[in-house]
Structure 1
Amino acid sequence: MDVDRDELSSSSVLRLEGVDDVEDFVWGDQVESASMSLGRFSHVYDLMDMGNKAFRENRFEEAVNCFSRAHSIKPDDPIILNNRCAAYLRISQFLKNRPPSASEHRPLSGLDPTIHAGLALKDAEQFMNMRSESVTPYILKADALILLERFELARDAIVSGLRLDASSIALRNLERITTNIFGRRQHGRPARTDDFDCTLCLKLLYEPITTPCGHTFCRSCLFQSMDRGNRCPLCRTVLFISPRTCAISVTLNSIIERNFPQEYAERKMEHEILTNMGPDLLPLFVMDVVIPCQKLHLNIFEARYRLMVRRIMEGNHRMGMVALDPATGSVADYACEVEITDCEPLPDGRFFLEVESRRRCRILRNWDQDGYRVAEVEWVQDISPLEGTKEAYDDMTLKVAAYARSWMKVAQEAAQTDQTRLVELHRAEGLRPSPSDPESFSFWLATLTNVRPLDRLSLLRLRDTRERLRRGYHLMKREER
């Protein structure tokens, strides 16, 4: 591609550095270290001489051809890479700055500035590997990245080059160019209007979803609204979508994240606080008293708990189960943490859950959050046995464990005609902890029999493992009779 000097000067809107001229391929310096025959080296020298001449006469495509032929013979030469990179950059610069009106008089088919800038970037990076102590490859790399409009990476290359030579005028000029361009792009961001707000929470859209009827909401806001009816909150169109099948608008989300980064980060933090509450905070499902070592199935249909389950499933899959204290009418002072091991969303918005109870806690305080209760908790363990009593303590645990095995066998035989009870016993047997963990084992004993809610709450409050083992033993004895 030949470039007229007048056309080149008139189109040079974007200034580059380090590409006004190329480096001469000096015969004396090269031939001494050349690992090739004199004839082949002479051919490389001639190609480089022709390429440099073509470059200086603005015949950049011809220069690239000469440099590429030389590179195929001597691929590890930094001067060849430097010169070819400069030629690629000049072609890309010319194409990028060329006004559209010029194409009417002199069309250029099949030439793309980004392709040549990409080729220049590859040469610059290879050149940098050979001469990492020189600022020249950093200048060329920054030029290529500017042409590719990757301004942040260009600034990184400039900073790295300035560490080698802080007085480099070329790098300082490129630094000013990238700062000006990047600043203009920052000022070119769209204005922060309420067009980017969710009409439900009146905040910046987070994880936006556009409905089939064309309205956009935060993902969590939309499905919280749909818990009360499967209609669009604005136009009341019936919506056949669910959290599992409905994807967020990736394009809109990236536009919001890129143009309003600080506000987006605040919205993201709000969302994470609701889904990952911290080690001492638990969302509460107020239903019944649960003790450790139980497996339960739950049908979640209330709107407030459907919202809670969605948030839990985005976090650690754990919640607290608690009952109302009949004496006070408020949430009981002890609860049990359960883990959701299986969650099946149903077409009507309900959730069918399988949960396993893990550990107990004491509720320090609780409050309302979007309709459901959240509690600050203190995790509770039994008091360790006194010194000198451990042997008797272990002996009691082993005796109760032996009785529990025989009791389970008898109970399963007696339940052959009652499939529901038989399934319960098999499920409990699968959750049986080792007697070497007496605290968990004592809770498991209590799950084998039908214990009233108030008695289960009493077991949660109890911090004496030996007493809980004794109660579990007597409960099995009572049911056996």
Structure 2
Amino acid sequence: MRCERVEGVRFLEQRPFHVTRLLNSIIAASFSTESAARRRLNLLEMSELSDLTTSVPIFVCTLAFPGIACPLHVFEPRYRLMMRRCQQSGTRSFGMCRVQADTGFSDFGCMLTIRGSEDLPDGRSLIDAVGGRRFKVLRRSRRDGYNTADIEYLQDQPIATEDLGILQVFHDQVYQMALSWFRHLSQFKQQYLHSRHGAIPGPDRGRLQDLLDGPCWCWWVIAVVPIQPELQTTLLSTTSLHGRLLYLQRILQYLGQNEVQ
């Protein structure tokens, strides 16, 4: 395993570091050429990391979803380096894709933003991240042991004004199905899902046409229902809110009819 999700952890904001002036002056005086080269390389790396469409760092582990918490336990050296660079660049962002045998990682993923982190004494870290925008992988590459990709962002198709009312009614119906399924889970299961993914978000009434990734509650349901990762990836790549709701309706109907928890 390349990573582990963690739960029930209080995350701390990343503490700033301070340059040791004496050591910095010694390095600059004794290794001026090397020091200048490293500074130029660091500026180049930070510039590249700040462009969140080209050579985006990709954490290959699991699926993440827009607006949904994704806590991670980072222990591999390459990903520890990635996390450090993402935070130093100021973007605090990286892509998350699931493992795929033929290409290394899936064609679709989700950006994650680091909200807080806790560094452990042995170099591992606990990362509190939340899902951002969805993307499609255009090109794959590698950098210092970890994967990178050129990406393009996805967004839902615009909703025609004449279809908005009908879609809103359908949206509310599927949301109620999701609530009913969740409320029929055992108390232990409900608490587990809450600790892992947060509470189920409320419905988005009256603003469906404004949401680039659709309602957040849809992604929460997709993250927690027992379905195959391949279907989760299909739903992540879907740019039709109506199509996504149809998928969810069928999944929730099946789970309800078969009492699957």
TM-score bracket for this pair, using the shorter chain length: 0.7 to 0.9
Residue 191 of structure 2: aligned partner: 422
Q: Are the aligned partners of 1:290 and 1:456 in contact in 2 as well (CA < 8 Å)?
A: no
Letter in 2 for 1:322: C
CA distance in 1 between counterparts of 2:33 and 2:200 reads 50
Contact 1:294 1:431 in 2 (8 A): no
The answer (yes or no) to whether the contact 1:291–1:456 under 8 Å persists in 2 is no
Residues 448/365 of structure 1: CA separation in 2 closer, same or farther (3 Å cut):
same
Q: Which runs of 5+ in 2 are unaligned?
A: 1-13
Going from structure 1 to structure 2, the CA distance change for 1:423 and 1:273 (only over 3 Å counts) comes to farther
CA contact (8 A) 2:175 2:203 kept: no
1:228-307 alignment to 2 at 5 Å? Answer: 248-254=19-25, 267-275=38-46, 276-281=49-54, 282-307=56-81
How far has the Cα of 1:286 moved from its partner?
0.6
1:449 equivalent to 2:225? Answer yes
TM alignment of 1:283-432, pairs within 5 A? 283-315=57-89, 316-326=91-101, 328-386=102-160, 388-408=162-182, 410-411=183-184, 414-416=185-187, 418=188, 421-425=190-194, 427-429=197-199, 431-432=201-202
CA-CA distance at 1:313 after TM superposition: 2.0
Preserved CA contact (<8 Å) 2:136 2:151: yes
Tell me: CA distance 1:259–1:360, structure 2 relative to 1, closer, same or farther (3 Å).
same
**Partner of 1:336: helix, strand, or coil?**
strand
User: What is the deviation of 1:448?
Assistant: 3.8
Deviations 1:105-162 (A, max 9, x none): xxxxxxxxxxxxxxxxxxxxxxxxxxxxxxxxxxxxxxxxxxxxxxxxxxxxxxxxxx
Aligned-residue offset at 1:380: 0.7
Partners of 2:168 and 2:28 lie apart in 1 by: 59
Cα drift, residue 302 of structure 1: 1.0
Query: Structure 1 pair 313/246, CA: closer, same or farther in 2 (3 Å)?
Result: closer
Structure 2 letter corresponding to 1:325: Q
Q: Secondary structure at the residue paired with 2:71?
A: strand
Q: 2:134 touches 2:153 (CA, 8 Å); kept in 1?
A: yes
Give the direction of change, closer, same or farther, for the CA distance of 1:314–1:352 in structure 2 (3 Å limit). Answer: same
Whole-angstrom distance in 1 between the partners of 2:202 and 2:32? 50
**1:41-60 maps to which residues of 2 (within 5 A)?**
none
Change (3 A) 1:272 1:407: farther
**In the alignment, is the contact (CA less than 8 A) between 2:117 and 2:126 conserved in 1?**
yes
Letter in 2 for 1:339: T
Matched residues in 1 for 2:156 and 2:242: separation?
A: 10
Q: CA deviation at 1:259?
A: 10
In structure 1, the residue corresponding to 2:105 is in which secondary structure?
coil
The TM-score, its normalising length taken from structure 1, stands at 0.43
Counterpart position of 1:236: none
Cα–Cα, structure 1 residues 244 and 404, in superposed 2: closer, same or farther, change >3 Å?
Answer: closer
Task: Identify, as 1 or 2, the structure richer in helix.
Answer: 1
TM-score using structure 2 length: 0.76
Q: Which of the two has greater strand per residue?
A: 2
- Deviation at 1:258? 9.0
Q: Work out the CA distance in 2 between the residues paired with 1:274 and 1:433.
A: 41
Code of the residue aligned with 1:400 in structure 2: it is V
Distance 1:312 1:272, change over 3 A: same
RMSD: 3.1
Pick closer, same or farther for the CA change 1:270–1:433 going to 2, 3 Å.
Answer: farther
Aligned length: 233
Aligned-partner Cα distance in 2 for 1:373–1:379? 18
CA distance in 2, matches of 1:356, 1:454: 21
The question of whether the paired residues in 2 share the 8 Å contact of 1:337 and 1:358 is answered with: yes
- Is this contact kept in 2: 1:446–1:475, CA < 8 A? no
Identity, % of aligned positions: 25
- In structure 2, the CA distance between the partners of 1:258 and 1:390, relative to structure 1 (3 Å rule), is farther
Task: Name the aligned partner's letter for residue 445 of structure 1.
Answer: V
CA distance change for structure 1 residues 473 and 265 in 2, over 3 Å: closer, same or farther? farther
1:434 aligns with 2:216: no
* 2-structure distance, mates of 1:334, 1:423: 27
Gaps of 5+ in 1: 1-242
Distance 1:449 1:293, change over 3 A: farther
Residue 480 of structure 1: aligned partner: 256
Q: Based on CA coordinates, which of the two structures has the bigger radius of gyration? A: 1
Determine the structure 2 residue equivalent to 1:458: 234
- Secondary structure of 2:127's match? strand
Shift of 1:265: 6.4
Q: Deviations over 1:409-441 (max 9, x none)?
A: x23xx422x2x5423146442545634346134
